[in-house]
Structure 1
C-alpha cells in the first residue's frame, strides 16, 4: 500500500507560491535596473518617484499572490473567483490610495513612477507565467486506482 499523503503533493496555494517565487526576483532586478536608467536619463529628481513605483508595484503583485496562496484552500471555482476578485479589489483600492497620496507631491517624478511600475508589471507577468509552467502543478486530481469502471 502506498502512502499518497506526502508533503511533496501540491496544495491549493502551490500555484501562487510558485508564481511568487518565480516572479519576485526578476521583477525586482528589472525594476532596479529601470530606476538606475531613469536616474541617469532624468536626473536625481527621478529617484523618489522611481523607487516609489518599484516598491508599490512589487508590493501590489506580491501581496496579491501571497494572499491568494493563503486564502484559497478549496477547489470550488466559485469560491476561488470570489476570493480572487476581493483580493484584486483590495489591491486596486490600495493603489488608488497611493496615487491620491502622491498626486500633488512635487518631489515625486510621475513619469518615472509610471515607467518603473510598467516595467515591473510586464516582467512580473512574464516570469509568473514562466514559473507556473515550470512548476507543472496538475490542475485536476489524478484518477484513483479504485476497481470502478473507467
Structure 2
C-alpha cells in the first residue's frame, strides 16, 4: 500500500473543469425557462423542438468542456491546440448528424429548437466566463522562490 497524497496542483485542463462546473446548471436552468416560455407563448406543439434544442446545446458545450478537462493534461500549446481542434471537429460532426436527423421531421419546430439553443449558448458563455474568473487558475508559471528577482 502506498501513501500517495492527492495532487492539488492545477493542470492544463483545470480551467475547463471549472468552467464546466460553473456553467452547466445555470445554462440548463436558462434553457428550461426558455422551453417553458416558448410552450406558454406558442403552444404545446413546440415542446419537442425546444427540448431537443436544450439537449443538443447543453450536450454540445458540456461534452466539449468535459473532454478538454480530461484530455488536456499538459500545457504544451501544440498538443492543446490539436486536442481542442479534434474535440471541436467531433462536436461539429455530431451537430451535423443531429441536423440531418431532424431536418425533415414535421414534429420538430425549428424556431423553438434554435431559440432554446441560442438562450443556452448565451447563458453558457456568460456563466463559463464567470466561473473561469472565479477559479483564479494561474495562466503562467509562478517563479521559483530560490531564484530571486532578475
TM-score bucket of the superposed structures, by smaller chain: over 0.9
Runs of 4+ in 1 over 6 A off after TM superposition: none
The CA distance in 2 between the partners of 1:114 and 1:53, in whole Å, is 6
Q: Deviations over 1:73-124 (max 9, x none)?
A: 1111111011101100110010010011000000001100000000000000
The CA distance in 1 between the partners of 2:88 and 2:6, in whole Å, is 32
Query: Is 1:112–2:112 an aligned residue pair?
Result: yes
Tell me the equivalent position of 1:43: 43
TM-score (norm 1): 0.93
Gaps of 5+ in 2: none
Task: Decide whether the 8 Å contact of 2:19 with 2:132 is kept in 1.
Answer: yes
TM-score (norm 2): 0.93
The CA distance in 2 between the partners of 1:146 and 1:106, in whole Å, is 68
- Between the two proteins, the alignment pairs up a number of residues equal to 146
Query: Is 1:90–2:90 an aligned residue pair?
Result: yes
Q: 1:146 to 1:38 in 2, by over 3 A?
A: same
Tell me the equivalent position of 1:144: 144
Give the RMSD, CA atoms, in angstroms: 1.4
Query: Is 1:61–2:61 an aligned residue pair?
Result: yes
Query: Is 1:124–2:141 an aligned residue pair?
Result: no
Query: Is 1:31–2:31 an aligned residue pair?
Result: yes
The CA distance in 2 between the partners of 1:122 and 1:146, in whole Å, is 45
